[in-house]
Amino acid sequence: MDGKKIRTRFAPSPTGFMHLGNLRTALYTYLIAKKNNGDFILRIEDTDRERYVDGAVNVIYNSLKQCGLNWDEGPDIGGNYGPYIQSERMDIYREHASKLIKNAKAYYCFCGKDRMDAIHEEQKSKGLTPFYDRHCRNLSDNEVKQKLSSGTPYVIRQKIPTEGRTIFHDEIYGDITVQNSELDDQILIKSDGMPTYNFANVIDDHTMEITHVVRGNEYLSSAPKYNLLYESFGWEAPVYIHVEQIMRDAAHKLSKRDGDAYFDDFIKQGYLIPAILNYIALLGWAPKGENEIFNLDELKKEFDISGISKSPAIFDPIKMRAINGMYIRALSLEEFISRAKPYVRLACKREDIDYKILCAALQPRTELLTDIPSQVDFIDELPEYETSLFENKKMKTDTENSREILRQLLPMLETLDNYQKNILHDNLMAFVEKSGLKNGQVLFPLRVALSGKTMTPGGGVELCAIIGKDETVRRIKIAIKKLA
């Protein structure tokens, strides 16, 4: 690969939403290319028509664009190595399959489904892993011609050497040796004329001059067959990088049922896209230093293949929330207001809310945008609450002294005309100083009276400013009555 321009590819199948594991593969593939000033190619592998989902290609486009993983070549923008959709490359696959047959590296197999099922059942009964018995491997040219001319259905199989061994190198796992006798004569072209994934991806990667291939380690067992295909054509194999799967725990993969499998799931949960990318970069990769917070541009500089681990990547929702919280707190107040406002409106319909005061109080307390509605649901209407909320040992408050404090506060808040935050702050602090009490002894009862909660975005000062004079006075009167 020395001297070659780095070319990587992300080659998803259009079968639905973007899975978190697929997005991580796309990210690693993108980073390898961009760190080395290379090209990142998008290829759509749509030969599995049974799993094809209408609209899924657009989901792939939109998900990558949202993440800033912009491709240099692809179906929508073209390039010098197209077509970039496998179903449009059928002539290329047939041409290369014919070359393999001509060079005795592949052969026609006419075994039907009934025969294959019977063979596999017999093998299973003997405790063997099902494999093809190579029944058609040594058919004569005349036998093959006769069956082809009679229209007998066929597949094309790779002619794997029966002796010797195949060695391939993976950047993560090192050199791996497999005895050829353990490899099955895999199908290259199916009976419907469509190529298998194992064949098409080799042809595509070579003809598109891909230098580095990132994929899940479930494909490790197929890598020897890929190498044998490269050897059959006299081609140089790419650099392999097989990454571990992302697991919910040691025994379970991420699943749609748990709401943690797809990129869109996280967006709906209130995650920021840069935080999602940052976190999934760490699922199986370790940076060299202590820092783990990187935006996309920083990842391009920091990412290195040597940091990818062989160990399973365990998904940690607590860490992901924490990272998202860091990204939320790093937003400017204006950016946070823009993102938070739709979530505020889910629980708060008032039109007179000062979003600067509210969001300045919300931002430090928000890890997910979906945390917001439950924090502001008291603004429109005071919820029912128990007077026991006023009892707090740390604040040295109970129902009796809380009632007295609120009773003394009420006249000041009734006569105060300006409810701007700074004016409220000065007046409340003056009250605290005059009363000889601690801040918490005054502001905690005020918080509970105004919100019906012990934890809110902002304290008593902010709550007064947010809900306004009339509602502040009304709610304090309700609290005094409840505490009587």
Alpha helices per DSSP H over 221-287: 223-233, 263-268, 273-281
d(C-alpha 274, C-alpha 292), whole Å? 13
Compute CA 242 distance to the chain's CA centroid, rounded to the nearest angstrom.
18
Enumerate residues 6+ apart whose C-beta is below 8 A from 199.
Answer: 93, 97, 158, 186, 187, 188, 189, 229
Report the 10 Å Cβ neighbour count for 130.
Answer: 13
Among 437, 436, 412, CA closest to 425:
412
List the beta strands (DSSP E) in 125-186: 155-158, 165-170, 174-179
User: For 397, which DSSP code?
Assistant: B
Q: Please tell me the distance from the alpha carbon of residue 134 to that of residue 56, in angstroms, as a whole number.
A: 38
Amino acid identity of residue 165, one-letter, is R
Q: Which of 4, 5, 99, 256 is catalytic?
A: 256
Burial of 149 (0-12, 13-18, 19+ CB in 10 A): exposed
Q: Quick one: how far is CA 331 from the chain centroid?
A: 21
- In 48-171, alpha helices (H): 56-67, 90-102, 113-125, 141-149
What single-letter DSSP state applies at residue 245?
Answer: P
Amino acid at 390: F
**What Cα–Cα distance (Å) separates residue 150 from each residue in 36, 79, 143, 334, 441?**
54, 41, 11, 73, 95
DSSP alpha helix (H) spans, 392-420? 399-415
The sign one gets for the Cα dihedral 159, 165, 171, 173 is positive
- Our answer to whether residue 34 is catalytic in this structure is no
Q: How many helices (H) and strands (E) does the chain have?
A: 19, 11
Q: How far apart are CA 16 and CA 60, in angstroms?
A: 9
Annotated catalytic residues are 256
